[in-house]
Chain A
Amino acid sequence: MIRKKIMKNKILNIKNLSKSYGAFKVTDQIAIDLNFNEIHALIGPNGAGKSTLIKQIVGSVKQDRGSILLDQEDITDLSDVERAKIGISRTFQVSSIIPSFSAIENIILSLLNKSNKTFQLFKNIKDNNELELKAKNILREIELIENSGMVASELSHGDRRKLEVGLALAMNPKVFLFDEPMAGLDESGTQMMINLFKKIKLNTPILLIEHDMEAVFALADRVSVINYGKIVATGTVDQIRSNELVKDVYLGYEI
């Protein structure tokens, strides 16, 4: 009975996910899951396979073995676009936005799919007040409303990171995969993100890859540690902090 309930709570459930390039195993039998109302952080040294795992979840890298369940539905064989459409939303490690679009246009682009506007061929997009209103709300949430008309290529690094998260928010997905959203942010930017993520997780769970340990410990409900493509430990922040194996992985680093 209890077991069943736990199963039901899993919005994202990844089992046995493996991928190798030749003899090199980038991800090795990874099992990781995401509950409702949860931030699950994934940490590990550079090259441990974190980003490859994200790519496999969104479908841009095909796994050799394993399965991915989203909301009890097997999405293992779906393409990357199909996965995005049914509710997996990601941010990129290196900001990946449409450079010639303004901030608000970037957000509107991200709103098109959910509002079924992509194939509106002749209606002027600027006349769509509803989309504009939604986009402005998101820009307000990521504290970018002042620069909403600014061309994305001219935004500062920090603002681009925020916009990256804004694009994910606009999709209104079932899960968020955030790939180092705080990389290169200043203190106030990081704090804004922390507050924002705390708010987001009440509705939508987050799988968070992050190097900023302070942020991870402030946010994560659970932490998994990945090394050489394997999950070596999963647990609460306190459990992970006191785990000997994890200390080995982060040899010489204070965590």
Chain B
Amino acid sequence: MIIEKLFNKWILFLLIIIPIFGLIFEEPYYITLTTKVIILAIAGIGLNLALGYCGLISFGHAAFFGTGGYVTGILSFHALNEELLFSWPIDIFGSSEMLIIWPVAILVCAFLSLIIGFLSLRTSGVYFIMITLAFAQMLYFFSISWPTYGGEDGLSIYVRNSFPMVNTMDPFTFYFICLVWLMITLFISFKLINSAFGMAFQAIKQNEERVKSVGIETYKVKLIVFVISGTMAGLAGSLYTDLNRFVSPSVLDWHTSGEIMIFVILGGMARLYGPIVGAAFFIILEQTLGTYTENWQFWLGLILILEILYARSGILGLFDKKKNNEK
């Protein structure tokens, strides 16, 4: 446990020190890379609540990640060409202000996850996996067939959305904004898992029938977890669009759902810092192995197999002797 906590501190330290080095040695690439890790980690932290702590195997978190991304893309697209977003019942304009985009993205994704969760949580097991996947794929094909926003080619927004008094085009500034969001989502997760509510959803993962029998409305608990989880993924999607200044249907694709899931599993399910470690490891693999072979995901697959066989509690689990071989 102590080693794991130390390791967690190291991870945070690296997330801070690498961009600072990038700044000093004028290597913005490393800043952008760290920003990418942070954004993907936020999506992972979201999924970790549902998948890791509550046992909801959502294979459709791309729906939220992608919707957050498209909300951001569409709002700034309309701000850029000065067209109205809606003219009915009132005129609604686009926006290129992060402080407007974030709440909109958060609300839209919360609403979307409420609907998807409301319907999917009536099922469990394989059916839950399939139904969440189906919802995400629906949105994916919808995004492909909507030419207004680029269809298959995606949507470029050219200039990163703005934040009062700072220049978001500066990689380090944008990195810092994302870092703050990471801290916020980490803090929310930490508070949740240590609360009475957290106790309930962690118990549901292990024995839902028992939790029902002590009079806890498990459906409601799961729905709230699912909404929080989906909203965090949506926020990450919003930041991801700003990072790339581009959004395409691939963020809604099931590959994205799979990747977010891999961050969680690689790092260690139901571990607060697991998704950060997982996302970092994923990007490092992509960057290092990716320079040698295009098929680097073969090696990722191999690592995943080894992990499932020998270290189920993930990379962080390796630092926690007591729980290493559990489950």
Contacts and interface: CB of A to CB of B under 8 A. Distances in A.
Interface of A: 58, 60, 80-81, 84-85, 89-90, 92, 96-101, 105, 108-110, 112-114, 117-126, 128, 167, 170-171
A112 B191 contact: no
A75 to B, nearest CB: 13
B197 A113 contact: no
Contacts of A96: 207, 209-210, 213
B221 interface: yes
A167 B214 contact: yes
Contacts of B83: none
B197 A119 contact: yes
Contacts of B191: 121-122, 124
Given A108-B199, A120-B196, A98 B218 contact: no
Interface in B191-243: 191-192, 194-200, 202-203, 206-207, 209-221, 224
Nearest to A121: B197
Q: Which 10 A-B pairs have the closest CB atoms?
A: A113-B215, A84-B215, A117-B196, A85-B215, A110-B214, A122-B191, A120-B196, A98-B203, A121-B197, A125-B196
A161 to B, nearest CB: 14
A128 B194 CA distance: 11
Q: Which of B195, B199, B215, B216 has the most CB of A within 10 A?
A: B215
8 contacts: A81-B215, A96-B210, A98-B210, A100-B202, A110-B214, A112-B216, A118-B217, A123-B195
Contacts of B199: 101, 105, 108-109, 112, 125
Given A96-B213, A125-B199, 12 more contacts: A80-B212, A81-B216, A84-B214, A89-B214, A101-B203, A109-B199, A109-B216, A118-B221, A122-B195, A123-B196, A124-B194, A125-B196
Interface residues of B, number: 27
Contacts of B197: 118-121
B195 A109 contact: no
Contact of B216 (A113, A124, A170): A113
Contact of B200 (A58, A89, A109, A123): A109
Q: Which of A80, A81, A101, A105 has the most CB of B within 10 A?
A: A81
Contacts of A97: 207, 210
B217 A109 contact: no
Contact of B195 (A60, A99, A124): A124
A217 B209 CA distance: 31
A123 B210 CA distance: 23
B129 to A, nearest CB: 23
Q: Which of B191, B197, B214 has the most CB of A within 10 A?
A: B214
A211 to B, nearest CB: 22
A114 to B, nearest CB: 8
B196 A112 contact: yes
Nearest to B191: A122
B212 A84 contact: yes
Contacts of A120: 195-197
Contacts of B206: 98-101
A134 to B, nearest CB: 13
